[in-house]
Amino acid sequence: MFATDQRDLRTPRKHTAVRTVVFYVIFASLWIYFSDTLLAWFLSDPDQLTQAQTFKNGFFVAVTATLLYLYLSHCLQVQRNCEEAIEEEQDKTQQDIRERFKQLSTLFDSMNAVVYVADFTTYELLYVNQFTEQFFGQDWRGRKCYQYLQEGINHPCDFCTNSQLIINGEPGNPVVWEFLNTKNNRWYECIDNAIRWTDGRLVRLEVAQDITERKELEKIKDDLLSTMSHEMRTPLTAISGFAELLLNEPEVPEQQRRHVEIIYNEAEKLTELINRFLDVRRLKFDRARINYEYLSVLDLMEKAKNGCRDCKAHHHIKIECQADIQVYGNRQELTQAITQLLENACRYSPESGRISLTAQSSNRETSICVADQGLGIPKHELESIFNPFHRIDTGNTRSTGGVGLGLCLAKEVVTLHGGKMQVESISGQGSTFTIVLPKPVDRNNTLNVNTNDARQL
Ligand code: ADP
């Protein structure tokens, strides 16, 4: 900014100098030419002419020297004024920056959240708010974020979000994640952002909100539901087992058989609900990132096709995938997610049977698409279908007998793999669900994106 100002101020002075020199050359040439001609015209005596020319030259030198002196003084004065103006402007800007920084610090200091700024390349801490100082100490200056915020770590954290925050050298989207702080044993929800620091470089701003109470409540609620679910499983297994036995009895009268069939179907539905609920819970809380391996997408697709329970004879599932496409993840979870999409495609395509399962791979990601030509999903429902227990309330979907946890589970799996789930649909024409997974080479970075997985700081 100051460099531009100085350039702007220097340019007109340069033009004035050039103009003055040109004016001087023209004026001096004219003066010399015409004064000599005039003198020669008026004075015919050579002695008088020589004297007059000497006087004229002296006069010329005196006048031009005075003009030069005045001009140089003027230039110096202008330069002094400019420098003073620039200095004043610099002072004012720095004061402005200090003032704004003070305002922001006051704001951040009054927040009950950990706020800090760290350099992207050196990890050096540039700012820490008072709340953070209270927990982690005041000796943060000159230290790296991982040394200050963690116990006994001397290298950047495995789950550092730096690589996800900058896209093509520019700040990207914020990354939201949760972690358990081992220093104070509290849970935090972190929002990481790439921002430009006062000197123009890119830095990481992290705002971490204490969510321990919420986590504890969630855990109590979840433990309760989980215990109840486990307890209900045993009687339910007995109910469906005995109902199945009765159904296989040839002597059961027709009307009682229908009643037993209802008992069996409802018990199965409840069992599915409980199993799905326990699956979601396991993914959210108990899951360790184990059993990750390189997986053939074609293999996963074929397994999903074979495991699809809702596929009827009129459904034609067509697989299109190159044999060498690979993803990095948990085999069982990814198969489960694809199977879920496939089962939904079959379930919600009661008439039309064409379903395609395709995979594509680019430099950065692998997409697995499940497309059907079934009922489709209304536009306003596209977001909410991934919410737990959300079902689209139409006569058709009710009759399909799901529990509204399948998509939630599939999305959770994909998110935990650092990917995203996309859906496109036209009501009455069909839907396309796409699982987008990062390429295996990115796994160290991308597996940490936007997960609700527990991390330790
Ligand atoms: P459900 O057990 O009800 O199938 P899901 O979570 O799998 O639960 O799906 C939620 C809702 O999304 C379903 O009730 C259904 O209305 C809608 N849905 C999911 N997949 C499809 C699809 N391929 N075509 C049309 N609707 C779908």
| pLDDT digit string (tens) for the chain, length 457 residues | 444 444 555 556 677 778 878 888 898 889 888 888 888 888 888 888 888 888 888 988 898 899 889 988 988 998 999 999 999 999 999 999 889 888 888 888 888 899 999 999 899 999 999 989 988 899 999 999 988 887 777 888 877 888 888 888 888 888 888 888 767 778 889 999 999 988 889 999 999 998 999 989 988 888 888 888 888 888 999 999 999 999 998 888 999 999 999 999 989 888 988 888 888 777 776 555 556 789 999 999 999 999 887 777 778 899 999 888 999 888 988 999 999 999 999 989 877 678 999 999 988 889 999 999 999 999 999 989 999 888 887 655 445 567 788 999 899 899 888 889 999 999 989 999 999 998 764 444 433 333 333 333 3
- DSSP state letter for 120: T
User: CB of 416 within 8 A of CB of 283?
Assistant: yes
Atom of ligand 1 minimally distant from the CA of 345: 23
Residue having the nearest C-alpha atom to atom 14 of ligand 1: 391
Residue 226: enclosing H or E segment and its boundaries?
A: helix 212-247
| Mutational pocket test of ligand 1: of 274, 279, 344, 398, the residue with most ligand atoms within 8 Å of the beta carbon | 344
Q: Which of 161, 122, 167, 178 is nearest to 145 (CA)?
A: 122
Return the number of other C-beta atoms located less than 10 Å from residue 304's C-beta: 24
Task: Look at the domain 111-210 and name its fold.
Answer: Beta-Lactamase (3.30.450)
Residue 275 Cβ < 6 Å to ligand 1? no
| Mutational pocket test of ligand 1: of 396, 407, 433, the residue with most ligand atoms within 8 Å of the beta carbon | 407
Question: Ligand 1 mean position to 311 CA, how many Å?
Answer: 15
* Strand spans (E) along 247-325: 292-296, 316-320
Residue 209 Cβ < 6 Å to ligand 1? no
18: amino acid identity, one letter: V
Q: What is the C-alpha to C-alpha distance for residues 19 and 189, in angstroms, rounded to an integer? A: 66
Per domain, the residue ranges of the chain are: 2-106, 111-210, 214-285, 292-456
Write the burial class of residue 203 (CB in 10 Å: 0-12 exposed, 13-18 middle, 19+ buried). Answer: buried
Q: Whole-prediction pTM value?
A: 0.56
Return the number of other C-beta atoms located less than 10 Å from residue 352's C-beta: 15
Which CA distances in Å does 73 have to 63, 76, 83, 147, 385?
15, 5, 15, 59, 79
Q: HSE, CB side, 13 Å, CA atoms: give it for residue 412.
A: 22
Q: Which of 173, 185, 258, 236 is nearest to 215 (CA)?
A: 185
Task: Look at the domain 292-456 and name its fold.
Answer: Heat Shock Protein 90 (3.30.565)
- Name beta bridge partners: 412: none
Question: Ligand 1 mean position to 187 CA, how many Å?
Answer: 33
Residue having the nearest C-alpha atom to atom 20 of ligand 1: 344
